[in-house]
Amino acid sequence: MDRRLVELAQGGDEDAFDALVRVTGDRCLGIAYRILRDVDLAEDAVQSAYVSAWRDLRSLRDPDRFEPWLHRTLARACYEEARQSRRFTANVRSLPLAAMSVPDGAIGVVERDQLERGIRRIPVEQRTVLVFHHYLGLTLSEIADRLGVPIGTVKSRLFYATSAMRAVLEAEARPSPMSRERPA
Amino acid sequence: MTAQHDADRLVHAFLQEGPAELSSPLTARIRAEVHETKQRTGFRPWRKSPMPRMLWIVAPLAAVLVAIGGLLVIGSGRQTPAPSPTPTAVPSPSVGAASSAEPSAYPIAAGEAWIVLGGTDHATLVRSDGTGRHDILTNVGVSVTDPDWSPDGNQLVFEGNGTRGSQLYVVDADGTGLRQLTPTPDGCPNGVCTEAVNPAWSPDGRSVAYVAPQHGGGIFVRSALMVIDVASGTMTEVYGTDQATLGRPTWSPDSQSIALEISHYVGSVEASALKDTVIAVIDLTASVHTPRTITDPALQGGYPAWHPTLDLIVFRTNRVDNSTGALIDPRAPSDLYTIHPDGSKLTKVTANVVGGQIVRAPSWTPDGRILYTVHDPVTAAEALRVVDVDGTNDASPAGSTTLSGQGRWRPGS
């Protein structure tokens, strides 16, 4: 991250902030989409986060910390979007595969469907920790620092989110009672 | 273990999928809205703002006038009232910035039964019959965790997670009058950051107990049980350790003792697996505040809550080890128990099965029932329940309405 760009933006330079949006925007949309599971909501959250970031940019103490600070702002925007929106579980617009970054052969269609349904059941704050951990590759300490919550809270949220996702996959993998062999 | 590993691998792969880039229309929308938005003046509490030049003239003049006024009052034989201390130790920068408009008050009638639920970025209040549900503390710049009622039921203390970590805040029950209780430290002296979590208001209303975790670079340093005087803001360390983590303090009815949970680890604190969690009691009237363990470590007891009038503590067993993602003892269920503060009369309240629902966050209703949260490990659903102390009449506190989250019942209602 270009420290100079952040400092210029803190001084009110809109072009510098625009450059920051271009540098950090893809990652932010990626985070928001993975948390909210809906492109429209994700775009709204990203827009809201950047406007908040612009408004409060002068309160950022260390310009080198711009991106972690932005991610915290984005997480709050996602919470707000999930809380306010009634579209959260309905009217979901999926991106065409061409617009998605999909690792080849990593995951099957059926499993993806299971995981999609599973992640939607998880509270948004737990989902956020899951995304920060798996997508951003952050450690628990880094997530705590980035979200501004105690590390115990992060651990707890990650536990419940991970358990829920495992449970979904295990439940789907379990044979139905009808197909089980009757014990001798 | 292999199945879990496979599941985790799939989840990891799944979370790599998503949109690849910000669209041009969105970029344009952001640019347009930024252009219409004015930047806030920077608020940097760690920098001392220079005194405006005009104040260099006005301030000494005002001081002289105040001194003369004071002499006149003393000379007339009347006493100047002492300034009343306020619980506002230091205003939060984030709260101050975000709550420029005072939220409209939602009336909370005296004696009316309400339950407060901690949310991520707000608190929810709902009557015990499920009506009147509304959020407070939205858009205040901090997320809201572990709200606890003042004993008169007129205020709430909560842990607010802001841009500088967690500190305690107090708000009137109608959602107005937000103020910061524990001050935000000026940075992290010697690289150690101190936060304030898990607040519990004392029954006499004078103090709030809380835990002050200290971390340096995300690594555990120390955990301390603290008490803050609500009126003066004076903070006192009751007990501290670098060998364990402390949590969930709860007061005895006479405000003379505090029970809390103490978690031990097999190696480095917080960096290794949990070894055990116990409930301990600290006598505040004793000269030395040594925790007295009252539960068997094998029980893995935690989250104590002291009965509002009796010598009885409710707690939950078999907590989750967040580093492994499983209950500490996978062969045992997760249940509620009660115990006397001297460690006697351990009594099981719930009767869950191994692998069944996980209970947490128990607390008491004013009439001596237990309010608690159940977590379904399969569906990840959470629900607030209330149960009699003998384990009977387990139900949703709001009848047919399902409430989720961790709840606290308003005292005196």
DSSP string, B319-387: -EETTTTEESSTTS---EEEE-TTS---EE---PPTTS-EEEEEEE-TTS-EEEEEE-TTT--EEEEEE
Q: Is B248 on the interface with A (CB under 8 A)?
A: no
Q: A-contacting residues of B 271-310, CB under 8 Å?
A: none
Nearest to B39 among A55, A103, A160 (CB): A55
Nearest to B174 by CA among B212, B220, B125: B125
Q: Is B219 on the interface with A (CB under 8 A)?
A: yes
Q: What residues are paired with B161 via a beta bridge? A: B143, B166
Quick one: B218 exposed, middle or buried, by C-beta within 10 A (0-12, 13-18, 19+)? middle
Task: Count residue pairs from A and B with Cβ separation < 8 A.
Answer: 212
3-state helix, strand, coil in chain A (%, to 5): 75, 0, 25
pLDDT digits (tens, 9 = 90+) for B286-303: 999 999 999 999 999 999
Nearest to A14 among B18, B35, B40 (CB): B35
How far, in Å, CA of B214 to CA of A69, rounded? 21
pLDDT digits (tens, 9 = 90+) for B194-245: 889 999 999 999 999 999 998 876 678 899 999 999 999 999 999 999 999 9
The domain ranges of chain B are: 93-316
| Confidence bin at A97 (pLDDT 50/70/90) | very low
Chain A CB contacts of B22 under 8 Å are 21-22, 25-26, 28-29, 46
**What is the chain A residue with the closest CA to B194?**
A150
Contact yes or no for B313/B364 (Cβ under 8 A)? no
Angstrom CA distances, A33 to A83, A120, A133, A169, B22, stand at 15, 12, 15, 21, 11
How far, in Å, CA of B133 to CA of A126, rounded? 23
Q: Are B29 and A155 an interchain contact pair (Cβ–Cβ within 8 Å)?
A: no
**What is the chain B residue with the closest CA to A122?**
B380
- What is this model's ipTM? 0.81
Q: Is B20 on the interface with A (CB under 8 A)?
A: yes
- The label of the residue with tokens 């805040």 reads B169
Nearest to A50 among B34, B165, B375 (CB): B34
Q: Are A101 and B7 an interchain contact pair (Cβ–Cβ within 8 Å)?
A: no
How far, in Å, CA of B349 to CA of A108, rounded? 45
Portion of chain B with pLDDT greater than 70, in percent: 79
Q: What residues are paired with B193 via a beta bridge? A: B215
Residue B186: both structure tokens together: 């000026």
Q: Is B186 on the interface with A (CB under 8 A)?
A: no
* Torsional sign, CA B43, B83, B159, B224: positive
Least confident segment among B66-75, B253-262, B282-291? B66-75
**What is the chain B residue with the closest CA to A157?**
B322
Domains along the sequence of chain A with CATH: 1-86 (1.10.1740.10), 105-176 (1.10.10.10)
Pick the more confident residue, B53 or B311: B311
pLDDT reading at A103 higher than 90: no
Nearest to B136 by CA among B109, B159, B118: B118
Q: What residues are paired with B134 via a beta bridge? A: B125
How far, in Å, CA of B145 to CA of B380, rounded? 19
Angstrom CA distances, B355 to B186, B329, B330, stand at 46, 10, 7
Q: Could you give the angle at the alpha carbon of B357 between the alpha carbons of B351 and B358, nearest 5°?
A: 95
How far, in Å, CA of A123 to CA of A134, rounded? 17
pLDDT digits (tens, 9 = 90+) for B72-95: 443 343 333 333 333 333 333 334
What pLDDT sits at residue B189? 77
Q: Are B12 and A160 an interchain contact pair (Cβ–Cβ within 8 Å)?
A: no
Contact yes or no for A107/A97 (Cβ under 8 A)? no
The residues near A132 (Cβ < 8 Å, ≥ 6 apart) are A31, A71, A75, A138, A142, A143, A146, A147
pLDDT digits (tens, 9 = 90+) for B376-412: 877 667 789 999 999 999 998 877 777 777 899 999 8
What pLDDT sits at residue B58? 45
Q: What residues are paired with B374 via a beta bridge? A: B359, B383
pTM > 0.80:
no
Nearest to A69 by CA among A150, A128, A145: A145
Taking domain B93-316, whether its CATH number is 3.60.15.10 is answered by no
- At A71, the amino acid letter reads H
How close, in Å, is residue B8 to chain A by CA atoms?
Answer: 7
Q: A-contacting residues of B 106-165, CB under 8 Å?
A: 120-122, 143, 145, 161-165
Other beta carbons within 10 angstroms of residue B400's beta carbon come to 7
Least confident segment among A70-79, B208-217, B317-326? B317-326
Q: What are phi and psi of B197, to 5 degrees?
A: -140, 170
Residue B299: both structure tokens together: 């029980």
How close, in Å, is residue B125 to chain A by CA atoms?
Answer: 16
Q: Is B50 on the interface with A (CB under 8 A)?
A: no
Q: Are B16 and A51 an interchain contact pair (Cβ–Cβ within 8 Å)?
A: no
**Residue A129: alpha-carbon gap to chain centroid:** 8
